[in-house]
Structure 1
Amino acid sequence: MKYTGYSILFILLFCSSFAYSQSFKNEVGFKSDNDSYLGQGSDRYYTNGLFLYFRHAADQSKLKAGLEKKTYEISVGQMMFNPYSGYAPDPAAQDRPFAGYLYIGGTMNWFYSDESIITASAQIGTTGKNSLGEAGQKLLHKTFGFYDVGGWDYQIKNELAINLSAQYTKLLTRTAGNAVELSFEGYANLGTTFSGAGAGLLFRTGNLNQLFNSAYTHAAIGNNAKTKSLVKREMFFYAKPQLNVVAYDATIEGSIFNNNSPVTFSQKPIVFAQQLGIDYSVDRFTADFGVIFKTKEVKSIARAHQWGSATVAYRFK
């Protein structure tokens, strides 16, 4: 069979449009944080976090010029905090309160063509016994045969949690071969559980997509994409040093409205964090593993701490 120049052009255009129609506009994911992932045998401070989320990309063909992509997210999560151990029955020896935080949240992301990103989110939930932190840790330890838990009788008290957050990300530079890039990230939190702000630099190297198409920024989904991704498969290493100013942390200080929690401390106003990780992403799947190191967060004998974070995501129509 012979193909004219017009027929070949038609086939190429058809294949191109077909490829765009195969983009996945929805994503579900699961994230797990735990200090045991680092194999150090410690079980202190931020000891466990579990998060589920669903993301959806809006129709990009209807977005204004300069706005590359817009996504919506719904998430649920639980965070658990210990003193030096999950078994610390003596309140006088506790160097951080037992605390839990349970929430449901919503997030909107605006991805711009200049590779800047604006993120706004809101969470509503609870701290204290209603957060099910004690029940969750006991179930986790029983399921995996860990030691008995003790000391949650002295956890911070119940409090309604309402938290708002905003983040700004901007690409600073990327090499000509798209193998190395540097970006700025800044955020601000305001709420009854967490209040503060921070800024850092994000370094990535490997097979990289634009920030508006990358798995790192939760932008691997699309809906009538405006701009083609740089690579079909992402695999990169990342590092993010970040300076945080902490104005309030209810998991350390207790309720913002009263002083009825049995064990509380003051928080460190300046906390430095360093995150290192590796990310692998193909059309439907993302897998990410990172390690987070933090300086002291509590004005007590508590030490600096670290944990591992594992994320998996699946995309679909």
Structure 2
Amino acid sequence: MTIENDLVNGTDRDYTHGTAIQWTSPPNRDPLNIGFFASPFVSRNADIRITYQLGQNLYTPQDIERKPPDPDDRPYGAWLYGAVGVVADDEDSLTSLQLSLGVVGPAALGEQVQSFVHSVIDSREPRGWDSQIKNEPALLLTFEKKWAESLLGAPYGYDIDASPYIGGALGNVFTHINGGMMLRFGKDLPTKEYGPPRIQPSTPGSGYFEPTENFNWYLFAGIEGRMVARNIFLDGNTFSDSASVDKELLVGDFTYGVVFNFGRTRVSLTQVVRTPEFDSDKDLSAFGSLGLTYAF
């Protein structure tokens, strides 16, 4: 389970909340179960896992008490989805492909969720959901290729490694290409772990980890750049008129945090700082992520 929210930064805007629950299958090396996916992207000896995910994302402008909202700020938007993915863990890389189907707009229940949570924590009342983007079926295909960690050094008995990756998304929700690098620092770094879990549009794969008999931890930091062709939460609806703003074509994320592994449980704490996503936004946005994973 992964929960992302900007409350830890004292803000309530942009990507303001996300919740996702994911289950990852045991590995399977039967070629009949991986079909076309194995041939162009991974070897037949790769460990293949199937992932299933349910999630919801919420997006809001900066002033959620303003009604109607500022037309120069990002529109209200929500996304409710289910996803199935294939993750191929090869000797030196992790390749993931995921298909998400769902809905954006009022049917995604963003207004109900945010209003309920804000009433419970006695926070500001969101008043502009009436102007959110309209109902629309949501389709998204995401792909990512991440190479295994390459050891950079071992100062004072600690390991430092790096894992580069490239990927992309295609659909009416997001369309972009991305690339980045993740650095890790710790003792006895796990070799079959590809960083902390993140919510859509990140691809699956990081939900898997190897249980350990001992307690261990590591620090991580990463950077990612995206070239964005479409973001429905900025561009507005695909097939009808709705609120929209002019998006930035280049967006960057800086990520850092810590992961704790003990027994069959993993806990990850992540902070993400994001460059402005649309023209009238001049400030960085930030949100925190908490990931809880258990190996059955």
Give distance in 2, aligned partners of 1:53 and 1:73: 7
1:1-317 alignment to 2 at 5 Å? 30-38=1-9, 41-59=10-28, 67-92=45-70, 95-114=73-92, 116-171=93-148, 173-175=150-152, 179-207=159-187, 208-210=189-191, 212-213=192-193, 216=196, 217-220=206-209, 232-258=214-240, 260-261=241-242, 263-301=243-281, 303-316=283-296
Q: Deviations over 1:274-297 (max 9, x none)?
A: 000100112310100000001100
Q: Is the radius of gyration larger for structure 1 or structure 2? A: 1
Instruction: Give the SS at the match of 1:218.
Output: coil
User: Shift in Å at residue 80 of structure 1?
Assistant: 0.5
TM-score (norm. length: structure 1): 0.80
**Structure 1 residues without counterparts, runs of 5 or longer:** 1-29, 223-228
Amino acid at match of 2:171: G
Instruction: Give the SS at the match of 1:290.
Output: strand
**Structure 2 residues without counterparts, runs of 5 or longer:** 197-205
Equivalent residue, structure 1, for 2:199: none
Q: Deviations over 1:81-135 (max 9, x none)?
A: 1100332212345511000011000111101112x11000000001110110111
In structure 2, relative to structure 1, the CA distance for the partners of 1:282 and 1:60 (3 Å cut) is farther
Give distance in 2, aligned partners of 1:293 and 1:86: 21
User: Shift in Å at residue 53 of structure 1?
Assistant: 1.1
In structure 2, relative to structure 1, the CA distance for the partners of 1:139 and 1:113 (3 Å cut) is same
Instruction: Give the SS at the match of 1:86.
Output: coil
- Alpha-carbon RMSD across the aligned residues, in angstroms, is 2.4
User: Shift in Å at residue 221 of structure 1?
Assistant: 5.2
CA contact (8 A) 1:96 1:302 kept: no
Give distance in 2, aligned partners of 1:44 and 1:54: 29
In structure 2, relative to structure 1, the CA distance for the partners of 1:71 and 1:171 (3 Å cut) is same
User: Shift in Å at residue 303 of structure 1?
Assistant: 2.5
User: Shift in Å at residue 267 of structure 1?
Assistant: 1.0
CA contact (8 A) 1:58 1:69 kept: yes
User: Shift in Å at residue 271 of structure 1?
Assistant: 0.6
Equivalent residue, structure 2, for 1:8: none
Equivalent residue, structure 1, for 2:200: none
Give distance in 1, aligned partners of 2:252 and 2:45: 33
In structure 2, relative to structure 1, the CA distance for the partners of 1:275 and 1:218 (3 Å cut) is same
CA contact (8 A) 1:215 1:286 kept: no
Give distance in 2, aligned partners of 1:53 and 1:236: 23
